[in-house]
Amino acid sequence: MNINSIVKDEFRDKCLRDLVNSPLTALDGVTLEQAQALRVAFGVNTVGDLGELKVVKLAQAIKQLAVCEMETPKEVAEEVLIDDAVEMTFPASDPLAVASSVTRIEVPPEMVEASTDHQNASAIEAHNEETVGEPALQHAQVRKEEHNS
């Protein structure tokens, strides 16, 4: 790391031993007000004091260990759901896929007519017949047959 990129201009010629004893304002981005707030809150006066602050060390440890942490049960469950969905779409156990390295996508079954498959299809048909004056599904079927001929 180029130390000059993290310290203010007037501290760029100092060695690291000198920077440890420099005021917090030596760090690029730390204002006098922020340095004073750290002094009041934590008794921190120098760059070295900040580096030795227990709260800072704990925060660094948490950040470094977070990378190694196991997944939470929620994350595991979400991953399983995604894996299952992908497996249903692109089955790895499909002999064609295993033998030829090509994944077969299943053709979905023919879709049923939503109006006849609905649990209240008869009530919907009765309402349609009352409104239109004839059974709507029969009317639609007749129009479909007329169109095909």
Nearest to 45 by CA among 17, 24, 16: 24
More confident residue, 67 or 65: 65
Q: What share of the chain is helix, strand, coil (3-state, %, to 5)?
A: 65, 5, 35
Question: 19-60 pLDDT, tens per residue?
Answer: 999 999 999 999 999 999 999 999 999 999 999 999 999 999
Looking at residue 9, what is its pLDDT? Answer: 92
Please report, for the chain, the start and end positions of each structural domain, with discontinuous segments joined by +.
3-66, 114-148
* 133-141 average pLDDT score: 62
Nearest to 24 by CA among 57, 41, 60: 41
Q: How far apart are CA 137 and CA 149, in angstroms?
A: 18
Q: Is the pTM of this model over 0.75?
A: no
Q: How far apart are CA 149 and CA 141, in angstroms?
A: 12
Q: How many CB atoms lie within 10 A of CB 90?
A: 13
